[in-house]
């Protein structure tokens, strides 16, 4: 790999042992990927604070520096961790104390995470604590090279924002924060960003649910390739595109998509394909739409629902406001739980707007930091859950062994009030 003089000095220890370890990791990682060089980044979104038994053990042995060295730098030496060199944020992690007592999630994990937040904040890590950093101030610009983790955030950054990132991991982001470097390969390179597949929506895509279902279909068909989508859809908003992207990265491994006329790197269909040949479209009509709906509802049997989960990816303020509005003057059915997951910063706004109060008064909860899939925890005794998220409907039955219903936000709120699933494909 070609290194600049600055990178050679960092590798050789001019900026301290932790930076040298980080450079060593990035060089090994880049060479394994066939990258010819590193690229500068000033935007890293990773995970340092997520609690785990292995991390707890490392902290007992040598404090947070030891945990960072081993887990985020792949280094066994006793080293000090300096302040991050470039802006770095913590993505979603485990539940925080707002979920204490609501699940079987361990108080020790919450304590460990709080301790980690203090340690990493002092080193310049912004604790955004969300899978949607782009909703709370981390908004890279088009063409910016960033180093992000979390599949739903990565596909949003590449596709909707036009930033450039691969789906990084805890180690590469740990090293990127300390160096401001990441291997230049994959989605960082223009030629690797052009569309490879064309998907045509014949069925109308005009709601949050429809965007999620279409995304699930797209991911299933293209897997890790790069789709361009055309057809019958209304102008999407932020929530639609975060649902669409998350769904493509759930049934498949999509990291970038293009919507001609809407996403920044596709002013035209021709531009989406980089001027290359445009393939025959894969079509999404009523039969395909029905297939997606039935697939996402395949784990639902009993119509008696005891848990409703909204906010995956973490809810926008508008989504929280809509839940609050639908619950105005209503009360959750006894024995039914409703959780709305949102970033901490948006919960503060929801508090100030009275949305949290309206949801809480009805018996629901507005929670932050994590989600049931991430923390592998739901209200005790949950047997049947309902959600408006294709991603959560896909993962949670397998993670927690519970039944799942997938529908609209309105159908989910109805289930919270009645305790019954009455959803149907419109």
- Site residues (CB under 6 A) for ligand F3S? 92, 131, 152, 246, 312-314, 341, 371, 373-374, 391-392
- Distance spanning both ends of the chain, measured CA to CA: 55
Q: Which is nearer to ligand F3S, 305 or 371 (CB)?
A: 371
Q: Which is nearer to ligand F3S, 376 or 420 (CB)?
A: 376
130 closest CA partner among 341, 352, 376: 341
- Let me know the angle formed at the C-alpha of 196 by 195 and 201, rounded to the nearest 5 degrees: 80
Q: How far is the CB of 150 from ligand F3S (least distance, A)?
A: 7
**Whether 186 contacts 216, CB under 8 Å:** no
Q: How far is the CB of 153 from ligand F3S (least distance, A)?
A: 8
**Whether 166 contacts 187, CB under 8 Å:** yes
Q: Which is nearer to ligand F3S, 49 or 152 (CB)?
A: 152
Q: Which is nearer to ligand F3S, 10 or 249 (CB)?
A: 249
DSSP character at residue 362? T
Q: How far is the CB of 399 from ligand F3S (least distance, A)?
A: 10
The whole-angstrom separation of Cα 303 and Cα 321 is 27
Q: How far is the CB of 12 from ligand F3S (least distance, A)?
A: 38
- Name the packing angle between helices 238-251 and 390-400 (round to 10°): 40
Element (H, E) at 405: strand 403-406
Q: How far is the CB of 375 from ligand F3S (least distance, A)?
A: 9
Q: Which is nearer to ligand F3S, 162 or 372 (CB)?
A: 372
Q: Which is nearer to ligand F3S, 183 or 343 (CB)?
A: 343
Q: Which is nearer to ligand F3S, 75 or 246 (CB)?
A: 246
Q: Which is nearer to ligand F3S, 226 or 314 (CB)?
A: 314
The whole-angstrom separation of Cα 5 and Cα 372 is 46
Q: How far is the CB of 299 from ligand F3S (least distance, A)?
A: 16
Q: Which is nearer to ligand F3S, 179 or 342 (CB)?
A: 342
- Let me know the angle formed at the C-alpha of 165 by 159 and 170, rounded to the nearest 5 degrees: 130
DSSP character at residue 148? E
Q: How far is the CB of 110 from ligand F3S (least distance, A)?
A: 17
Q: How far is the CB of 314 from ligand F3S (least distance, A)?
A: 6
Q: How far is the CB of 191 from ligand F3S (least distance, A)?
A: 29
- Let me know the angle formed at the C-alpha of 373 by 305 and 210, rounded to the nearest 5 degrees: 70
Q: Which is nearer to ligand F3S, 250 or 263 (CB)?
A: 250
Q: Which is nearer to ligand F3S, 35 or 340 (CB)?
A: 340
**Whether 333 contacts 417, CB under 8 Å:** yes
Q: How far is the CB of 426 from ligand F3S (least distance, A)?
A: 24
Q: Which residues, including other chains, have CB under 8 Å from residue 85's CB and lie 6 or more apart?
A: 19, 177, 178, 179, 180
Residue 226 CA from chain centroid, whole number: 18
Integer angstrom CA distances of residue 45 from 92, 236, 274, 284, 345: 10, 25, 29, 34, 16
The whole-angstrom separation of Cα 376 and Cα 397 is 11
The whole-angstrom separation of Cα 147 and Cα 346 is 24
**DSSP string over 109-129:** HHHHHHHHHHHHHHTTEEE--
The whole-angstrom separation of Cα 99 and Cα 366 is 9
Q: How far is the CB of 92 from ligand F3S (least distance, A)?
A: 4
The whole-angstrom separation of Cα 158 and Cα 276 is 20
């Amino acid at each position: 790999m070609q290194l600049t003089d600055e990178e050679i000095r960092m590798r050789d220890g001019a900026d301290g042992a932790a930076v040298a370890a980080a450079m060593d990791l990035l060089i090994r990682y880049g060479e394994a990927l066939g990258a010819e060089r590193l690229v500068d980044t000033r935007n890293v979104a990773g995970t340092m604070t997520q609690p785990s038994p292995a991390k707890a053990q490392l902290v007992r042995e040598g404090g947070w520096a030891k945990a960072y060295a081993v887990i985020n730098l792949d280094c066994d030496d006793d080293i000090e961790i300096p302040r991050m060199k470039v802006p770095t944020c913590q993505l979603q992690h485990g539940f925080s104390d707002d979920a204490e007592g609501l699940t079987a999630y361990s108080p020790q994990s919450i304590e460990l995470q709080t301790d980690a937040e203090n340690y990493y904040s002092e080193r310049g890590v912004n604790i955004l604590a969300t899978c949607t950093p782009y909703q709370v101030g981390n908004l890279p610009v088009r063409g910016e090279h960033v180093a992000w983790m979390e599949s739903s955030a990565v596909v949003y950054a590449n596709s909707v924002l036009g930033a450039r990132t691969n789906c990084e991991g805890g180690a590469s982001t740990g090293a990127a924060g300390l160096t401001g470097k990441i291997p230049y390969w994959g989605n960082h390179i223009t030629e690797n960003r052009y569309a490879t597949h064309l998907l045509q929506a014949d069925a109308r895509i005009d709601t949050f649910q429809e965007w999620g279902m279409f995304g699930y279909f797209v991911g299933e068909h293209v897997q890790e390739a790069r789709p361009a989508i055309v057809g019958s859809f209304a102008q999407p908003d932020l929530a639609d595109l975060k649902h669409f992207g998350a769904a493509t990265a759930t049934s498949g491994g999509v990291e970038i998509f293009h919507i001609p006329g809407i996403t920044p790197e596709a002013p035209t269909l021709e531009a989406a394909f980089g001027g290359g040949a445009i393939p025959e479209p894969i079509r999404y009509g009523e039969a395909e739409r029905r297939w997606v709906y039935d697939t996402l509802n395949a784990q639902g049997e009993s119509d008696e629902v005891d848990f409703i989960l909204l906010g995956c990816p973490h809810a926008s303020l508008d989504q929280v406001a809509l839940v609050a509005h639908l619950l105005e003057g209503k009360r959750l059915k006894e024995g039914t739980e409703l959780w709305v997951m949102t970033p901490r910063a948006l919960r503060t706004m929801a508090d100030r707007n009275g949305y949290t109060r309206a949801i809480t008064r009805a018996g629901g909860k507005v929670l932050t930091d994590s989600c049931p899939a991430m923390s592998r925890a739901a209200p005790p005794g949950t047997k049947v859950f309902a959600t408006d998220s294709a991603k959560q409907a896909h993962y949670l039955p397998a993670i927690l062994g519970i039944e799942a219903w997938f529908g609209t936000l309105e159908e989910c709120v109805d289930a919270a009030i009645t305790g019954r699933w009455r959803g149907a494909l419109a």
